[in-house]
Amino acid sequence: MRAGVARRGYRARPELRTGPGAGGGLSDRARKPWLDRGFRANRSIAVELSRRALRAGADDPRILGRAAVALGRFGDNIDAAVALIDRALALNPSSADGWYWSGWLRVFAGRADLAIEHFQASMRLNPRDGRGFHLAGIGTAHFINGRFAEAAAALRASLDELPSFTPTYRTLASCLTHMGRLDDARAVIERLRSLTPSVVPAIQLFRNPEHCELFLSGLGLAASPVEPAIA
């Protein structure tokens, strides 16, 4: 989840918008589920529009990349999404956006170390833009690999730059719970609730069941009501 995956799980950056034409238009429409809550719920439409975009612009790295992200978020085959982003990067290896989204798709697929390498490659290509989003991705990659201290540090640094980016709060809260810092995790949840009523995301992006359980178990405990002390 350059969107997102929003990058509000994840909001697309303005420069990712394609120009006029059938391929670009379809790709834009496939991206809009992340921006339109009602449309976002319809995965089949997003996947179909992405496939149509591919047919219209199969050799355009921008369309390939955008379709890869939509399919990675809404489709059932993460390996197919990864293959698309790899093809986009083969066509344009200097795309900071491509490496950024490749990082998120690797996170979804459970390939944490490769994800970090791709986020870092994106930052080298464009060091002035989107550092907070990259740190969110790097922190999430550390988290699913069980490197909780590194994850917490990266996620906190991300929030320093992007204090309204809600996905980071969720991952940080889960991470702190697994570190045994439940009070800190609950404080993060309170900050999250000041931004959105949605604590648990509607869409689970982790394809590895163990990573999904890791995330949800920590988040659920952090979000659970505090039991009153027995006198």
Question: Within a domain: residue 17?
Answer: yes
The proportion of the chain whose per-residue pLDDT surpasses 90, expressed as a percent, equals 59
Same domain, 156 and 97: no
Same domain, 93 and 138: no
Question: Within a domain: residue 140?
Answer: yes
Question: Within a domain: residue 99?
Answer: yes
- What DSSP line would sit under the chain, residue for residue? ------TTSSPPPGGG---SSHHHHHHHHHHGGGT-HHHHT-HHHHHHHHHHHHHH-TT-HHHHHHHHHHHHHHSS-HHHHHHHHHHHHHH-TT-HHHHHHHHHHHHHHT-HHHHHHHHHHHHHHSTTS-HHHHHHHHHHHHHHTT-HHHHHHHHHHHHHH-TT-HHHHHHHHHHHHHTT-HHHHHHHHHHHHTT-S--S-SS----SHHHHHHHHHHHHHHHSPPPPPP-
Q: Which of 123, 156, 176 is the last residue of a domain?
A: 123
Q: What is the chain's mean pLDDT, rounded?
A: 81
Question: Within a domain: residue 69?
Answer: yes
Q: Which of 102, 123, 144 is the last residue of a domain?
A: 123
Same domain, 105 and 143: no
Mean pLDDT for 40-66 is 70
Closest CA to 184 of 172, 171, 195, 199: 172
- Return the half-sphere exposure (C-beta side, CA atoms, 13 A cut-off) of residue 97: 24
Q: Which of 79, 104, 123 is the last residue of a domain?
A: 123
Q: Residue 130 has what pLDDT?
A: 87
C-alpha distances in angstroms, 141 versus 44, 57, 155? 28, 31, 10
Q: Are 172 and 135 in contact (CB under 8 A)?
A: no
Same domain, 45 and 7: yes
Same domain, 13 and 92: yes
In the numeric block, which tokens belong to residue 38?
């009602």
Same domain, 104 and 181: no
Mean pLDDT for 128-149 is 96
The count of domains in the chain is: 2
Residue 13 gets which letter from DSSP? P
Handedness of CA 33, 171, 136, 54 (dihedral sign): negative
Same domain, 69 and 39: yes
Question: Within a domain: residue 231?
Answer: no
Same domain, 166 and 63: no
CATH code for the domain in which residue 147 is found: 1.25.40.10
Same domain, 91 and 13: yes
Question: Within a domain: residue 134?
Answer: yes
Question: How sure is the predictor about 39, in pLDDT bands with cuts at 50, 70 and 90?
Answer: very low
What pLDDT, in 10s, does the model give residues 158-210? 999 999 999 999 999 999 999 999 999 999 999 999 999 999 988 889 999 99
Q: Considering the entire predicted model, what is its pTM?
A: 0.78
Same domain, 114 and 136: no
Tell me the C-alpha distance between 128 and 209, whole Å. Answer: 35
In the numeric block, which tokens belong to residue 220?
């659920």
Same domain, 172 and 118: no
Domain residue limits at 199: 130-226
Question: Within a domain: residue 63?
Answer: yes
